């Protein structure tokens, strides 16, 4: 089968379409074989490709199939009977196979077939296309976990940086339509991205190119927010716009040692390079004004993915797609490489998705 792989850490030119073995002989107890119909690219894929995450999430072996958001059709079901052949599903792939054998096909989603642990798999809502479903897992689960971590409640206010990005577009919708936030404010450039954020639920959009959100919301306590969700690496400044007793959660930059431990990372090695939360500048600044600060790394959660499917089905949230590219095309504009170029540029509005056709 064909797959998009990289054989060593580096830049985007390391990605190649490669012929690899079709998955067979794997433990079917908790694993499902998926015929891929669509797979999505995320900024974290750039970090993985470059090697920036090799101490946190190392690649088990090379060549490595990239990308981990997938939608497709069950080709071979798990023996526990959680899924059936022919079902339309979507998933976020996490880690190695639970049999511990590090089977070489148990990697990413950008391939004609992929193996997914059944705990990371959910039936696809009927009102979604495969492209739409593939765009959801990482951004949806990340946003949901951050908003739950913050403790956002109905009527409260939240500031979300980077509202036009993949996570931002989902966080705005969840905050407004599911958590029922009273005031959702975000940042985006003027024009299309600003209008997109307003369309999906933002009450106000700050043009980060011409305005400073600290100057706007940092002076009057009555204008400050209950919570901040940082997707752009600006959490050190957000302490000035959060009410005393409020909370900031970031997903940008280097994680804390505590968060690495929580997700099962090799903390005994990483502590040589990664600071404890109590030594981070962002934490110290926040604590000085009685604000809580934390880093959050996405964790596997079937419950969260199931909830997202429900919200998608009832229309509370909708996929935001920047563009769709063809897996089988080598054209620099329409082919698969275009999805990576667009996503890695940081200029996309929503998600970049690669579709697979028969």
d(CA 15, CA 63): 10
Digitized pLDDT (tens) for each residue of the chain, 358 residues in all? 999 999 999 999 999 999 998 988 888 888 999 999 999 999 989 989 998 877 767 777 788 999 999 999 999 999 888 999 999 999 999 865 444 455 544 579 999 999 999 999 999 999 999 999 999 999 999 999 999 999 999 999 999 999 999 999 999 999 999 999 999 999 999 999 999 999 999 999 999 989 999 999 988 878 899 999 999 999 999 999 999 999 999 998 777 777 767 766 655 555 555 667 777 889 899 999 999 999 998 989 999 999 999 999 999 999 999 999 999 999 988 999 999 999 999 889 999 999 998 5
Give the N- to C-terminal CA distance of the chain in Å, as an integer.
Answer: 13
Strands annotated E in the chain: 2-6, 16-19, 31-41, 64-65, 69-76, 88-92, 113-117, 121-123, 157-160, 183-188, 204-207, 225-230, 242-250, 292-295, 321-326, 351-355
Homologous superfamily, domain 2-136+319-355: Medium-chain alcohol dehydrogenases, catalytic domain (3.90.180.10)
- Concatenated DSSP letters of 153-216: -TT-EEEES-TTSHHHHHHHHIIIIIS--SEEEEEE-TTHHHHHHHHTT-SEEEETTT--HHHH
d(CA 169, CA 107): 27
pLDDT at 97: 44
Q: Is 277 exposed, middle or buried (0-12, 13-18, 19+ CB in 10 A)?
A: middle
Q: Are strands 157-160 and 2-6 parallel, antiparallel or unpaired?
A: unpaired
Give the pLDDT of residue 98.
42
Q: What would the two tokens of residue 220 be? A: 């009057």
Structure tokens at 170: 């989902």
Q: What are phi and psi of 255, to 5 degrees?
A: -70, 165
DSSP per-residue codes, 230-261: ESSS-HHHHGGGEEEEEEEEE-SSSPPHHHHH
DSSP assignment, residue 317?
A: S
Q: pTM for the complete prediction? A: 0.92
Domain ranges for the chain, please list them: 2-136+319-355, 138-295
Q: Which residues contact 343 (CB under 8 A, 6 or more apart)?
A: 41, 42, 43, 45, 46, 322, 351, 352
What is the fold of 138-295? Answer: Rossmann fold (3.40.50)
Residues 301 and 145 sit within 8 Å (Cβ to Cβ): yes
* Helices 166-173, 192-199: inter-axial angle, 10-degree rounding: 30
């Amino acid at each position: 089968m064909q797959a998009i792989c990289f054989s060593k850490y580096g830049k985007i030119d390391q990605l190649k379409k490669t012929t690899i073995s079709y998955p067979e002989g794997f433990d079917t107890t908790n694993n499902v074989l998926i015929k891929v119909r669509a797979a999505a690219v995320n900024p974290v894929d750039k970090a993985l490709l470059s090697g920036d995450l090799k101490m946190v999430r190392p690649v088990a072996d090379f060549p490595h199939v990239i990308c981990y958001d997938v939608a497709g059709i069950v080709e071979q079901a798990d023996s526990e009977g959680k899924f059936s052949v022919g079902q339309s599903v979507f998933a976020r792939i996490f880690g190695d196979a639970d049999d511990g054998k590090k089977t070489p096909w148990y990697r990413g989603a950008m391939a004609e077939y992929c193996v997914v642990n059944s705990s990371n798999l959910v039936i696809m809502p009927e009102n979604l296309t495969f492209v739409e479903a593939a765009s959801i897992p990482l951004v949806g689960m990340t946003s949901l976990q951050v908003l739950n971590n913050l403790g956002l409640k109905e009527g409260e206010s939240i500031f979300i940086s980077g509202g036009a990005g993949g996570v931002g577009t989902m966080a705005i919708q969840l905050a407004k339509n599911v958590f029922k936030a009273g005031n959702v404010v975000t940042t985006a450039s003027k024009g299309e991205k600003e209008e997109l954020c307003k369309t999906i639920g933002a009450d106000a959009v700050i043009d980060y190119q011409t305005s400073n959100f600290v100057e706007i919301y940092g002076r009057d306590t009555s204008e400050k927010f209950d919570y901040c969700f940082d997707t752009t690496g600006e959490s050190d400044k957000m302490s000035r716009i959060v009410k005393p007793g409020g909370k900031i959660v970031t997903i940008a930059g280097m994680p804390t040692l505590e968060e690495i431990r929580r997700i099962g990372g090799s903390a005994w090695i990483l502590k040589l390079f990664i600071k404890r939360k109590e030594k981070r500048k962002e934490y110290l600044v926040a604590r000085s004004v009685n604000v809580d600060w934390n880093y959050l790394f996405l964790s596997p959660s079937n419950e969260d993915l199931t909830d997202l499917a429900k919200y998608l089905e009832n229309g509370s949230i909708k996929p935001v797609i920047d563009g769709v590219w063809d897996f089988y095309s080598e054209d620099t504009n329409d082919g698969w490489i275009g999805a990576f170029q667009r996503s890695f540029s940081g200029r996309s509005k929503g998600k970049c998705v690669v579709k697979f056709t028969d």
